[in-house]
Amino acid sequence: MTDNTEADVTGAPAPQGKGDTGPKTIGGRKLKPSTLMMGHGYDPMLSEGSLKPPIFLTSTFVFPNAAAGKRHFEGVTGKRPGGAEGLVYSRFNGPNQEILEDRLALWEEAEDALAFSSGMSAIATLFLAMVKPGDTIVHSGPLYAATETLIGRILGKFGIKWLDFPAGATREEIDAVMTKARESGDVALVYLESPANPTNALVDVEAVAASRDAIFADLDVKPPIAIDNTFLGPLWAQPMRQGADIVVYSLTKYAGGHSDLVAGGVLGSKAQINTIRLMRNTIGTICDPNTAWMLLRSLETLELRMTRAGENAAKVCDFLNAHPKVDRVGYLGFLDQQGDARQADIYRRNCLGAGSTFSLYLKGGETEAFAFLDNLKIAKLAVSLGGTETLASHPAGMTHLSVPQERKDALGITDSLVRISIGVEDADDLIADFEAALDAI
Ligand SMILES: *Cc1c(COP(=O)(O)O)cnc(C)c1O
């Protein structure tokens, strides 16, 4: 959102300022996101001194005068660049969502951010803002299943085409797909997901950016690169540093972090975000104020939670990796020892941590996987990830049940695969739980 603390160029006072939203530096020191999550973007003095932001339950906002109302709508409808200068109507934005957006952007030093009602509504709004009939979306594969459905089955109905390359593709392989896409018409968007679910294969974002820049070198406006950073962001991967233009989140996962809300986010430059904002304003895919408030609470502990979950996952994976009933652990921290030089190289260049979601391949098949899952006492049997509690699921029988066998084989979705998201419990308690469940197979 625009900073309203200064009067606008016409000299009229900014009508709904955000007040004093706190310093971002002290004595030349740039404050870290973990510090800024407690206060940035909110002035208690505008809310009766309330330390925490109230939840603003209102559908509309009062204009100080008619001219200000007109200026607002010129901003909202794109007649005047820069978007709205204050709050107008709750389908467009509200105080809680604005604070959330300001704080979300800080984690990846993005110019701006948008909050959405779910990860999928964020992705759908991004796509709708970018594509027209006949365009091609180039994407890495596999993608989150609903994203694949959205591109293939839903946008496909409106004449949008797609071409994909495997997540681990080399520069040459990416170049070949980009070239083919360009020959087929306008490329609207390059869309990535890294690590891919459930293979954990990392996308070489630097190679994708270099390929896009080379293949579309003669165009003034090159297709933007968007990436779903739900699994590693914002602590363990910040792909805008490797050349991505737009970062997408399911805030339902690590950002929300308590398995008690559904929301999404998009980060990027002001120009890209304003294009997406126009679509969100039109279709109303913003999150509600209560969810935004819960996310503000979540973001205060984001670094603590993710750090602890990452440390726990490293300990648990070491234990599992050495267990005789375990065939293989698909954990980013093991890329080096598993001898995958190319993936290990991408990991070193693109990642800041191995995350806490991984694939566990047990020896055996469905019987062994089910016995393991049914004997877990601390870990809960549920899909999703990134919460304070440890979750385990069986992709072949759950999230990927309807995927054809051939594709399951290609993705490594075997009957013995268990997906695990480690939480913030005591690591040794978790190891005891996994050990007892393995014993029970
Ligand atoms: C969960 C998830 C989504 C979808 O997010 P929702 O909040 O469930 O709509 C998208 N991408 C990835 C990688 C996810 O894990």
pLDDT digits (tens, 9 = 90+) for 7-63: 333 333 333 467 788 889 999 999 999 999 999 999 999 999 999 999 999 999 999
Give the pLDDT confidence score for residue 412 in this predicted structure: 85
Query: How many other β-carbons are positioned within 10 Å of the β-carbon of residue 234?
Result: 26
The whole-angstrom separation of Cα 247 and Cα 223 is 14
Kindly give the distance from the C-alpha atom of residue 360 to the centroid of ligand 1, in angstroms, as a whole number: 21
Query: What 8-state DSSP symbol labels residue 152?
Result: I
Give pLDDT tens digits for 311-338.
Answer: 999 999 999 999 999 999 999 999 989 8
For the segment 112-127, the average pLDDT, to the nearest whole number, is 98
C-alpha 73 – ligand 1 centre gap (Å): 32
pLDDT-wise least confident of 60-74, 201-215, 261-275, 359-373: 60-74
Q: Would you call 74 exposed, middle or buried from its count of C-beta atoms within 10 A (0-12, 13-18, 19+)? A: middle
CA 228 to ligand 1 centroid distance, Å: 9
Environment class of 406 (CB within 10 Å of its CB; exposed 0-12, middle 13-18, buried 19+): exposed
54 CA to centre of ligand 1 in angstroms: 28
Ligand 1 site residues, Cβ closer than 6 angstroms: 118-120, 144, 193, 197, 228, 230-231, 250, 252-253, 262, 264
Provide the terminal-to-terminal Cα distance of the chain, rounded to the nearest Å: 54
Out of 7-11, 170-174, 293-297, least confident range: 7-11
Atom 15 of ligand 1, nearest CA residue: 230
Q: State the chain's mean pLDDT as an integer.
A: 93
Q: Which atom of ligand 1 is nearest to the CA of 386?
A: 15
Q: How far does residue 45's CA lie from ligand 1's centre (Å)?
A: 36
Q: Judging by beta carbons within 10 Å of its beta carbon (0-12, 13-18, 19+), is residue 116 exposed, middle or buried?
A: buried
The pLDDT, as a whole number, for residue 10 is 34
Which has the closest alpha carbon to 350: 244, 430, 230? 244
Which atom of ligand 1 is least distant from the CA of 252?
A: 7
Cα 183 → chain centroid: 30
Measured CA distances, 6 to 72, 106, 358, 397 (Å):
16, 21, 47, 56
Whose CA is closest to atom 8 on ligand 1?
119
- Interaxial angle between packed helices 366-374 and 427-439, expressed in degrees from 0 to 180 and rounded to the nearest 10: 130
Q: Which helix (H) or strand (E) holds 307?
A: helix 302-321
Helix/strand/coil for 162: strand
CA 175 to ligand 1 center in whole angstroms: 28
Instruction: Ligand 1 pocket test: pick from 126, 253, 398 the residue with the most ligand atoms within 8 Å of its Cβ.
Output: 253
Structure-token pair, residue 268: 């990027």
How many whole angstroms separate alpha carbon 306 and alpha carbon 297? 15
**Preceding omega of 234 cis (within 30 degrees of 0):** yes
